[in-house]
Structure 1
Amino acid sequence: MLAKLLKAYLPPYRWLLAGVLALQLFGAIASLVLPTLNARIIDDGVARGDTGFIMSTGGIMLLVSLASIIASVASTYLAAKSSMGFGHDVRGAFYKAVGSFSDREFNSFGAPTLITRNTNDVLQIQALVMLTSSMLVSAPLMCIGGIIMALRENLQMSWLLTISVPLLGITVSVVVAKLIPHFRTMQTRIDNINRSLREQLTGMRVIRAFVREPDETIRFDKANKELTDTSLLIGRYQAVLLPTVMLIANLSSVAVLWFGAHLVDTGDMQIGQISAFLAYVMQILMSVVMATMLAVVIPRAAVCADRITEVLDTEPTVPAPAQPLRPTSPYGVVEFGGAGFTYPGAETPVLSNVSMRCMPGTVTAIVGSTGSGKSTLVSLIPRLFDVTAGAVLVDGLDVRGWDQDELFANFGYVPQKAYLFAGTIASNIRYGNPTATDDDIWAALTIAQADDFVRELSDGLESPIAQGGGNLSGGQKQRLAIARAVVRRPRIFVFDDSFSALDMHTDAAVRRELRTVSTHSTVIIVAQRVASIIDADQIMVLEDGAPVGLGDHQFLLANCPTYQEIVASQIPAEMSA
C-alpha cells in the first residue's frame, strides 16, 4: 500500500526529486573525496614539508566542502518542498474521498479515526518521503563508495568491514522486526484516545449533568495509558538501537587505530592512510545509521499508508452516476415507489414498501413512533442513503441517476440536530445561498422567527458563532438552521424533526410563515407533535418501517388506529399546554 500511495502522488514532484538525487550524488562524491585529500596532505605534504602542496590541496578541500554544504542545503530544501507537496496532495485526495462518503461509510470509519488518518498518518508518510529523498542516493553511495575507497587505502584492514557492517545490519533488522507490530498498535491507540477525547468534549454537558467526570477520567486515563505504554515500548527499542549502533561504530574506530598502528609500525601503512581509512569506516557506518533511520520510519509509514489507502479505496455506497441525468422540467415532485432500506448486516429492513407522491405546493408530514424509520425515509430523498429496494424519484427520475450537485441544489434540508459552523450568523445563513444579500438573510430570519434574537445581539448578522453553535440555545440553533434552508429558496424542503426545540407558539408561527415562501415548493416534514402537522395536505404514518396510513388528518383519525393512538397520547399534553 505504501508503494501504491507513493506511485500515485509523487509523480508531480519527480523533477524536484530528480534535483534532490543529483545534489545528493554530488554531496556523496564530495564526502568520499575529502578523506583521500586529507590523507595526501598528511602523507605527502606534511612528510615532505611541502607547504605549497598543503595549501593547494587544502584549498581544494575547502572548495569541495563549501560546494558540499551548498548542495546539502539545496537538496534538503527541495526534499522538504516535495514532501510537503506530497502531503498536501494526499490530504486533499483524502478529504475529497471522505466528501463522497454516505452516512454508511462515515458510521463505518468514525470521525476520530478519519481525523487521525488525515493528519498524523499523512505526517508519518511525509516524514518518510523527506528522509528517503534525502538519503536515497547518499546512503548507499556512501556505503558502497566508502568500502571501495577504504579498500584502496589498505586491503589488509578489509576484515574489519566484513565484521562491523554485517553486525550492524543484523542488529538493525532485529530491532525493526520487533517495532513493526507495535507501530500498528500505536496508530490504533491514537484513534482510541482521539475518540475518547472527542466524545468527552462533545458530551461535556451530559457528563456533568450525570456527575460522570470520575468515570470519564478513568476511561480517558485507560486510553492514555495504553498509548503511553505502547510509545514507551517503541521508545525502548529505539533507545537500544542508537547506543548499539554507536557502540559498534566506536569499537570499529578503536580497531582501525589499534591494527592500523601495527601496520604503520611495520611500514605497511602510512598515518594519512589510517586517517582516511578511519574516515571511510565512519562514513560506511553512518550510512548504515542513515539506513537505520529509514528502517525505523518505514514500518510506521507502511502502517499509516495501509490506513490511508483503506479510506481512499473505499467505494461509496452512494456513487455518482456514470452518465448523470437532468430533468427536462424540474418542478420538485418527490415520489416513493415501493422504497425500502436495510442496514448492512441487519436481519430486518428499517423501511419496506413505502409508496407516496409529494407534489409542489403541498405539505407532506411523516409521523410514527420512535424507531419507525421516519428520518431514514427522508434521508433517501437527497441520497444520504440509497434505497435497497424500490426507488425514490424526483421529477420522474430515480435520484440514483441524477447529477448529484444538481440534485442537492434542489433541497433545503434541515436535519434533526442543527449544526452551525464557526463564523458569524451571516456566514452560516449564506451557507445555504452564498449570493444572498443582507436583506435576503433578514427575510429568512423573519420566516424562521429568529430575527428578534439576532437584532438583540450587539453585532447583529456579524455576531460570532462558536463551532457547532455552542454559544446558542437549541431553539436558536434550530431557527438559524431553518433560515439557512429558507434563504436557498429550494424546490423541495425537508424538515427532519426540525421544530422539536421550538415552543408551540413559535412552531406555529414558523409553519405559517413557511407557507408564504413554499407555495411552489414541495414540503416534507418529519414531526413528533401532531399539532405541528395537523394542517398538512397528507400525512404518512409509519409503524416498524412500514406505511400503515396515508391521508389528511381527518381521514387518518377515522381510518388509522396507529394515528388514533398517536393523537390520543398527545391531546392531553397539548390541551394542558
Structure 2
Amino acid sequence: MIKQLVGRVREYKKDALLTPFFVVLEVVMEVVIPTVMALLIDRGIDAGNLGAIWKYGLILIVCAMLALVFGALAGTFASRASAGFARNLRHDMYYAVQDFSFSNIDKFSTASIVTRLTTDVTNVQNAFQMCTRIAVRCPVMLIFSLIMAFRINNQVAWVFVGVLPILGIGLGILMKIVAPVFARVFKTYDRMNTVVQENLRGIRVVKAYVREEHETEKFQSVSGRLYREFSKAQKTMACAMPLMQICMYACILLISWFGARLIVGGSMTTGELTSLFSYVMQILISLMMVAMVFVMITMSRASAQRISELLTEQADLHDPENPVTAVKDGSIRFENVSFSYKGDHHKFALHGVNLDIKPGQTVGILGGTGSAKSSLVQLIPRLYDVTEGSVKVGGVDVRAYHLETLRDEVAMVLQKNVLFSGTIKENLRWGNEKATDEELKRVCKLAQADEFISQMPDGYDTHIEQGGTNVSGGQKQRLCIARALLKKPKILILDDSTSAVDTKTDALIRRAFVEEIPETTKLIIAQRVSSVQDADQIIVMDNGCINAVGTHDELLRSNEIYQEVYRSQQKGGEE
C-alpha cells in the first residue's frame, strides 16, 4: 500500500527529497545554538570577556538566521511536494473511476468515492507533509540533542535515556486504542455524505412530502455518531499531553538536582547546565511532535487503505488483445444469456434469454417493475458482461469489440436522465463534440425539443443547471434523446425515456424515428402499450425471462400478460 501511494509522488520527487535535506540542516543549526549559548555564558559573561561575548553573540545570530532560512526552504518544498502528491492521487483516483464498469461503481457507493477523493486525500496529504518534515526532524533532533547532552555530561544525559522508553510505551498503547476508532470514523463519513447527497438531490420531494424533520433527524443521527467517534478518539489522544508533561517535568527536576550537585562539586559549569535545559526541551518537544505524527499517521492509515482500495480495484470490463474496431450493422442476438449483478449463479436477474433482432427493426420491450427490462438492454453496449451465454452486435460478440467502438455505435438514453451544468449546446454535444448548430437543431426537431428550446430567452445557449433542475422532466427526456441521436448510432436504446412526455409528443418522436433513421435498430422500453404497438416486434418480459415475442396483434391474441396490460390501459383511458 505504502509503495503504491509513494509512487504517486512522481514529478514532485525532487521537492520531497529536498525537504528532509533542509530539515536536517535546520536541526543542526538549532542543536548548535545551546552549545554556543553555553560558551557565551562561560567564556564571555562569567569570565567578563567582552570580545568573547561579541564573538559568540554573532555566531548565535548567524545560526539563528540559517535555521530560519533552512526552515523556510523545508516548509516551501514540503508544501509543494504534499500538494503535488495530493493532486496526483486525485488525478489517478478520478481516472480509475472513469474506467470502472457499472459493477465496479456498484461496489463503492457514490458518497464513498467522493469522501475518498476529498477527506481521505486531505488526510494522506497532511500525513505525507508531516512525514517529510516532522517525522524527519524529530528523530534527527532527538539523536543530535542526545549526542550533545552526552558530550556535556554523560552522567546527567542518562536521565533522558531512562525517560524515553516510558514515553514510547505510553504512546504505543494510545495508538493501538485509537487506530480502530479512526477506521470507523471514515465509514461514518461515507454514511453522512450519502445522507446529505440524497437530501440535496431529492430536496423537492422532501419539501413536497413535508419530510424536512425526518431528514433532519437522519442527519443529526449520523452527525452525532461521527461526533461520538471523534470525541472518543480525541479523548484518548488527549492523554498524550499529560504523559509528555510528566516526562518533561521529571527530566527538568532530575537534571536540576544532579546539575546543582555537579556545579557545587566543580565538574559542571553554569553554561553547560543551561544548555542541558535547552536540550531537555528540544528532546521532549521532539517526542511530543512524534506523538502528533503518530496521531496523524493513525488517522491517515485508514484513509490510505481506502484510497488504495480504489486505486487497486480492477475494472471488470477490458478490451480484448485484438479488438474489433468496426460494427457492421445494428443486428442484435442474445444466445442463451443469463446475467447476475454479483456473479451469483443462484440469483440471476436474467435467465435463458434467446433473442434475434434484425438491423433497422423497431423493438418494443414491455414488462412489470423488476422484470429485468433495463438489465436486458444494458448488456448490449456492454455496461455489464453476461454471466452465461453471449450477446452479439453486428454478428460479433460484444466482448470482442473495442469498448469505445461498440459504445459509439450504441446510443442509450438511460432510465435516469442526466444533464450537466452548462448550455443546451454543450449538453447536446456530448453526443458529438464536433456537431454543427444545424445538426443540433435537426436532432432536436426529431426529438420534439426544438420548439421549447426556441421559446427560451437564450435558445440553444440557455444555461442548464446541474442535473437539469431548471427544465421539466419531459424536456429533459427530449434533450437526452436528441443527444443520443447526435451520435448517429446503429442501435438506439430508449429505456423508458418518453414516460414524462404526452402521448402526442411520444407519437411524433416515434414517427420521426421511422422516417429519419430507418436503418437504426431501435429498442424502446415503455410502460404504455401505445408507445410500442407499432413496433416490428414486441418483447414481453416476466421475472427475468422472455415471456413472449410478437407483434401487437399477435400478442393481443395469445399472451395473457400483454392482454392484461392492454385492457388495463384501455379501461383507464375510457374512464
After TM superposition, is the score higher than 0.5?
yes
Name the amino acid aligned to 1:502. Answer: V
Question: How many Å apart are 1:575 and its aligned residue?
Answer: 4.9
- Which residue of 2 is the match for residue 341 of structure 1? 339
Name the amino acid aligned to 1:470. Answer: T
- Which residue of 2 is the match for residue 510 of structure 1? 509
Q: Distance between the aligned counterparts of 1:11 and 1:423, measured in 2?
A: 34
Q: Distance between the aligned counterparts of 1:51 and 1:459, measured in 2?
A: 83
Query: Could you give the per-residue CA deviations for residues 339-398 of structure 1, whole angstroms, max 9, x where no partner exists?
Result: 221232473422122222333322111112222111110000111111111111112221
Name the amino acid aligned to 2:36. Answer: L
Query: Could you give the per-residue CA deviations for residues 63-112 of structure 1, whole angstroms, max 9, x where no partner exists?
Result: 22212211111111111111111111221221122222222222222111
Name the amino acid aligned to 1:342. Answer: S
Query: Could you give the per-residue CA deviations for residues 283-321 of structure 1, whole angstroms, max 9, x where no partner exists?
Result: 111221121111111112111111122222222333333
Task: Within 5 Å, give how 1:272-351 maps onto structure 2.
Answer: 272-327=271-326, 330-344=328-342, 345=344, 347-351=346-350
Q: Distance between the aligned counterparts of 1:134 and 1:343, measured in 2?
A: 47
The 10-residue stretch of structure 1 (422-431 or 492-501) with the greater mean CA deviation from structure 2: 422-431
Query: Could you give the per-residue CA deviations for residues 101-133 of structure 1, whole angstroms, max 9, x where no partner exists?
Result: 222222222111111111111111111110000
Closer, same or farther in 2 for the Cα pair 1:72/1:323, shift >3 Å? Answer: farther
Task: Within 5 Å, give how 1:176-575 maps onto structure 2.
Answer: 176-327=175-326, 330-344=328-342, 345=344, 347-575=346-574
Q: Distance between the aligned counterparts of 1:229 and 1:88, measured in 2?
A: 31
Q: Distance between the aligned counterparts of 1:572 and 1:507, measured in 2?
A: 20
Indicate conservation of the 8 Å contact 2:548/2:559, yes or no. Answer: yes
Indicate conservation of the 8 Å contact 1:364/1:537, yes or no. Answer: yes
Question: How many Å apart are 1:414 and its aligned residue?
Answer: 0.4
Question: How many Å apart are 1:247 and its aligned residue?
Answer: 4.0
Q: Distance between the aligned counterparts of 2:51 and 2:8, measured in 1?
A: 54
Q: Any gaps of 5 or more consecutive residues in structure 1?
A: none
Matched residue pairs, number? Answer: 574
Identity of aligned residues (%): 35
Q: Distance between the aligned counterparts of 2:172 and 2:372, measured in 1?
A: 56
- Which residue of 2 is the match for residue 54 of structure 1? 53
Name the amino acid aligned to 1:488. Answer: K
Query: Could you give the per-residue CA deviations for residues 502-552 of structure 1, whole angstroms, max 9, x where no partner exists?
Result: 110111111112233312211111111111111111222222222222232
Indicate conservation of the 8 Å contact 2:31/2:144, yes or no. Answer: yes
TM-score normalized by the length of structure 2: 0.95
- Which residue of 1 is the match for residue 29 of structure 2? 30
Indicate conservation of the 8 Å contact 2:324/2:401, yes or no. Answer: yes
Query: Could you give the per-residue CA deviations for residues 465-516 of structure 1, whole angstroms, max 9, x where no partner exists?
Result: 1211112211111111111112222221110011111110111111112233
Closer, same or farther in 2 for the Cα pair 1:460/1:11, shift >3 Å? Answer: closer
The 10-residue stretch of structure 1 (5-14 or 544-553) with the greater mean CA deviation from structure 2: 5-14
The 10-residue stretch of structure 1 (301-310 or 4-13) with the greater mean CA deviation from structure 2: 4-13
Indicate conservation of the 8 Å contact 1:21/1:136, yes or no. Answer: no
Indicate conservation of the 8 Å contact 2:334/2:355, yes or no. Answer: yes
Question: How many Å apart are 1:574 and its aligned residue?
Answer: 4.0
SS of match in other structure, 1:320: coil
Q: Distance between the aligned counterparts of 1:552 and 1:285, measured in 2?
A: 85
Name the amino acid aligned to 2:450. Answer: D
Indicate conservation of the 8 Å contact 2:5/2:308, yes or no. Answer: no
Name the amino acid aligned to 2:52. Answer: F
SS of match in other structure, 1:49: coil
Question: How many Å apart are 1:415 and its aligned residue?
Answer: 0.6
Question: How many Å apart are 1:563 and its aligned residue?
Answer: 2.3
- Which residue of 1 is the match for residue 141 of structure 2? 142
Q: Distance between the aligned counterparts of 2:43 and 2:514, measured in 1?
A: 100
Q: Distance between the aligned counterparts of 1:424 and 1:532, measured in 2?
A: 30
Name the amino acid aligned to 1:497. Answer: D
Q: Distance between the aligned counterparts of 2:117 and 2:278, measured in 1?
A: 43
Query: Could you give the per-residue CA deviations for residues 412-471 of structure 1, whole angstroms, max 9, x where no partner exists?
Result: 210111111112212111121111222222222221112222222212222221211112
Task: Within 5 Å, give how 1:148-167 maps onto structure 2.
Answer: 148-167=147-166
Query: Could you give the per-residue CA deviations for residues 137-188 of structure 1, whole angstroms, max 9, x where no partner exists?
Result: 3211111111110011112212321333223222222222221111111111
Q: Distance between the aligned counterparts of 1:242 and 1:447, measured in 2?
A: 71
